[in-house]
Chains A and B, each alone.
Chain A
Amino acid sequence: MKIIAAMTFVGLAILAGSTLSTLTGFGVSSGSSETVPVSVRDNPSSYRPIYGGYTGYRAPVSSSGGYSAGK
């Protein structure tokens, strides 16, 4: 009975955490992010990230002097 009580307690804790997470969004990762300067905010098309997972290609620096996160 003790083992069932303990496992039920853990299960209820998981449920409580899940409920809290569902209601608030608390506790989950926001993923990768970075902050760019105002010039990029004003001209979003000039943003130049470095993309992962694709071999053989690196995004060129914009001729208009756009921002690259890789630099």
Chain B
Amino acid sequence: MLSAECPNCGSPVAFRHAASAATVCEACHSTVLREGTDALVLWGKVSAFSRDLSPIQVGATGIVGKRPFTVAGVLRRSRPGVRWNEWYIVFDDQTTGWLSEGNGLYQIFGGALPGVHVPAAHHLSPGRELDLGDTRWVVVECSEAAVVAADGELPFAVRGGEMRAYADLRSADGRQTATIDYSDDQPALWPGRAVTLESLKMEGLRAFAGWSDPIMVSMEGPEVDTRRSLDCPNCGGSLTLRSPGTTVQLACEYCGSDLSIDEVGDHSTAEVLAAHQGQKWKPRIPLGKRGRLDGVEWEVIGAMKRAVRVDGVDYPWVEYFLHNPYRGSRFLVEDQRGHWNLVDRLAGVPTGQGYSVWSRQRYGKELYRHFQGGKAIVRNVFGEFDWQVKVGDSVDTHDYVCPPFMISREGDKHEVVWSKATYQTKDDIEKAFGLNVRTPWGVAANQPNPYERRRIWVAAFGSAGVLWLGSLFVLLLGVLVASNDTVLNSNYTSTGAVSDVWVSKPFEVEGAFRRHVEVRTSTSISRSKGQVHVALINQDNGRVYLPVNTSRSNSQSGTVYNADAGSYVARLEVARPALAPSGDKVNVKVVVDPITGFPCFAFFYPFLIPIVIALLRASFESRRWSESDHAG
């Protein structure tokens, strides 16, 4: 460690890391450059690093893979409307890297890739693909930014305010990030990857009043109040800044004026971007409301209404800007029909399965189908945002769905942003924010199909299986309980008379239940020449049943159900239109309490259940896609 005095003000400055070439004097904000082993040179001045709501601070530690690191310093860069931090980290082996923090995303960069020739900045545009090193990259942003503040130690000397070109890239497979730094004469490619603070196992983070996080347990330093007060320069209304440092724009909740927020030291200042005379729109969830979604507590700090316009009609939705100092930001989107989505910006880019924006996109394990595209226009703005947004801003959008997820591509000439939405139920939102929200109607683009869930199909086939087994059981029961008693089995030979009658010996039909009598008859008489008719005559009460004749077939059977109890005879008659040769054979068999048949409907009914579920599933999908660009 090298300790010395600031060449400008004489305050003590220190170099704790051998890899550091410069440090920023805490007293006068001069950049002090180390030359040789102990000589210090005054290089220039940068603005003081005003504290935003980043949980990272100089001195915090973490681990990348198995390599411990310490945060040595920080640069704050800015381009019009956007600010972000680049934390200079020194590993225990004295190699260095950068931890970039912006738009709620954290990226680790180890160092520039040597020997890579990168194209000039003016040749790049968002969406362009290029091969650098062994990787195919997609340009997601290209612009110019300046260092606006610095703190701690740095690997090089900086002066504030110099605009330098840069380009942010994502690998085409979506796994890596990179940036091209055009600060030096020889532009360099810095490959990196997206990380989370949890994965870095960081310790010594800042503690924020009113916020806790079960993962970020190691805090260092005094608790920081996250809220600042300031007055609207247009109407004088007292405003609360809920994410100072991060917020670059605030829409006054009283007059609706768009205010540009800047940081001076640890104070925030507001400047009118566009004055309005009254806020006519208020979002359903009030600013400052906190709710736990996806296991993380979020605070609503801003909201805006956007819409796509089709055939002169606005189709609006509301985007709530959520903030958590330890987890960055999210969007909570409520569409026109009351469906909700929690949206996170994507660190990577999906891999298109074709060359058109209409193509399918793969991100992670999911394959997304194009749903719809359009131009999203900002209609109302309320509260604070970490980028400048104003009424009338528009971007081209394309949505791709793989329920319950939806990825969206939003782009203009400077930037392409991908985000991933996860469908939230009404109950999720009401439970999270303690609010009553309207019941959604219709089918949302990425709403999970309730008839596609595994448990639905398990239940459908399970119920069908149980009912079918029940049907088999009833069928078996019918076999087991039937006495199936053959009381008559006789053969008869016709005499050739016009009316040839034969009467059987008596038989009994008795019992309280199932007094069914089945009569089966077969004959060799041609149906064109005669028919056999059987009548069962109850000799006790005179009841006569006519269960069967051979008018349709030479072999017929018929059953009398629940016949009256008593003693019966079977009367058989061969009826012919005219005398015919004798000698035709007729057989009659009478069975009491036979094995009765089983209703086919009961046997096949169980299969209706999965069929109905399949039809409902198809109907749901049909309603979903009827709202897309691919309807009809």
| Docked-complex contact B477 and A19, CB < 8 angstroms | yes
Given contacts A12-B467, A33-B545, A53-B551, contact A18 B616 (CB under 8 A): no
Q: Which of B515, B577, B609 contacts A8 (CB 8 A)?
A: B609
| Docked-complex contact B562 and A25, CB < 8 angstroms | yes
- Determine whether B501 belongs to the interface, using a CB cutoff of 8 Å to chain A: yes
Chain B 548-575 interface 0/1 with A at a Cβ cutoff of 8 Å (1 = within) = 0101100000111111000001010101
- Determine whether B513 belongs to the interface, using a CB cutoff of 8 Å to chain A: yes
Least distance between B501 CB and chain A CB atoms (Å): 5
Q: Which of B533, B561, B613 contacts A31 (CB 8 A)?
A: B561
Given contacts A4-B609, A15-B467, A36-B544, contact A29 B501 (CB under 8 A): no
Please, how many angstroms separate the alpha-carbon atoms of A14 and B573 in the complex? 40
| Docked-complex contact B544 and A33, CB < 8 angstroms | yes
| Docked-complex contact A31 and B463, CB < 8 angstroms | no
Given contacts A51-B549, A59-B575, contact A15 B560 (CB under 8 A): no
Of residues 42 through 71 on chain A, the ones whose CB sits less than 8 Å from some CB of chain B are 44-45, 47, 49, 51-54, 56-57, 59-60, 62, 69
| Docked-complex contact B539 and A41, CB < 8 angstroms | yes
Give the chain A neighbours of B515 by CB distance below 8 A: 25
Question: How many chain-B residues does the 8 Å CB contact rule pick out?
Answer: 61
Give the chain B neighbours of A49 by CB distance below 8 A: 533, 535, 544, 546
- Determine whether B4 belongs to the interface, using a CB cutoff of 8 Å to chain A: no
Give the chain B neighbours of A51 by CB distance below 8 A: 531, 533, 549, 551, 575
Classify the secondary structure of B's interface with A.
Answer: mixed
Give the chain B neighbours of A54 by CB distance below 8 A: 531, 549, 551, 575
Give the chain A neighbours of B576 by CB distance below 8 A: 57
| Docked-complex contact A31 and B537, CB < 8 angstroms | no
| Docked-complex contact B561 and A30, CB < 8 angstroms | yes
In this complex, what residue of B is CB-closest to A9?
B463
Q: Which of B513, B547, B558, B573 contacts A25 (CB 8 A)?
A: B513
| Docked-complex contact A44 and B599, CB < 8 angstroms | no
Q: Which of A1, A11, A15, A69 contacts B459 (CB 8 A)?
A: A1
| Docked-complex contact A7 and B612, CB < 8 angstroms | yes
Chain A 12-40 interface 0/1 with B at a Cβ cutoff of 8 Å (1 = within) = 10110011001111101111111111101
- Determine whether B209 belongs to the interface, using a CB cutoff of 8 Å to chain A: no
Give the chain A neighbours of B514 by CB distance below 8 A: 23-25
| Docked-complex contact A3 and B613, CB < 8 angstroms | yes
Given contacts A3-B616, A29-B561, contact A41 B456 (CB under 8 A): no
| Docked-complex contact B544 and A35, CB < 8 angstroms | yes
Q: Which of A28, A32, A35, A45 contacts B503 (CB 8 A)?
A: A45
Give the chain B neighbours of A25 by CB distance below 8 A: 513-516, 561-562, 596
| Docked-complex contact A18 and B602, CB < 8 angstroms | yes
Least distance between A68 CB and chain B CB atoms (Å): 11
| Docked-complex contact A12 and B470, CB < 8 angstroms | yes
Given contacts A18-B598, A47-B544, contact A11 B467 (CB under 8 A): yes
Please, how many angstroms separate the alpha-carbon atoms of A3 and B541 in the complex? 51
Please, how many angstroms separate the alpha-carbon atoms of A45 and B501 in the complex? 6
In this complex, what residue of A is CB-closest to B552?
A53
In this complex, what residue of A is CB-closest to B471?
A15
| Docked-complex contact B467 and A33, CB < 8 angstroms | no
| Docked-complex contact A15 and B503, CB < 8 angstroms | no
Give the chain A neighbours of B543 by CB distance below 8 A: 33-35
Give the chain A neighbours of B537 by CB distance below 8 A: 36, 40-41, 44, 47
Given contacts A3-B613, A31-B547, contact A22 B478 (CB under 8 A): yes
| Docked-complex contact A32 and B546, CB < 8 angstroms | yes
Give the chain B neighbours of A26 by CB distance below 8 A: 513, 562
Least distance between A65 CB and chain B CB atoms (Å): 14
Given contacts A30-B560, A31-B547, A44-B571, contact A11 B606 (CB under 8 A): yes
Q: Which of A4, A12, A23, A35 contacts B541 (CB 8 A)?
A: A35
| Docked-complex contact A30 and B609, CB < 8 angstroms | no
Given contacts A8-B463, A44-B503, contact A15 B613 (CB under 8 A): no
- Determine whether B581 belongs to the interface, using a CB cutoff of 8 Å to chain A: no
Please, how many angstroms separate the alpha-carbon atoms of A57 and B546 in the complex? 18
| Docked-complex contact A23 and B542, CB < 8 angstroms | no
Give the chain B neighbours of A60 by CB distance below 8 A: 498-499
Please, how many angstroms separate the alpha-carbon atoms of A20 and B441 in the complex? 44
List 17 interface pairs A-B (beta carbons < 8 Å), by A numbering.
Answer: A1-B459, A4-B456, A4-B613, A7-B463, A8-B466, A22-B474, A22-B596, A25-B514, A31-B546, A33-B544, A40-B537, A40-B542, A40-B544, A44-B539, A47-B544, A53-B549, A57-B577
* A residues whose Cβ falls under 8 Å from a Cβ of B: 1, 3-4, 7-8, 10-12, 14-15, 18-19, 22-26, 28-38, 40-41, 44-45, 47, 49, 51-54, 56-57, 59-60, 62, 69
Closest A-B pairs by Cβ, 10 of them: A53-B551, A25-B514, A11-B467, A8-B463, A28-B561, A22-B478, A15-B470, A24-B513, A44-B503, A45-B501
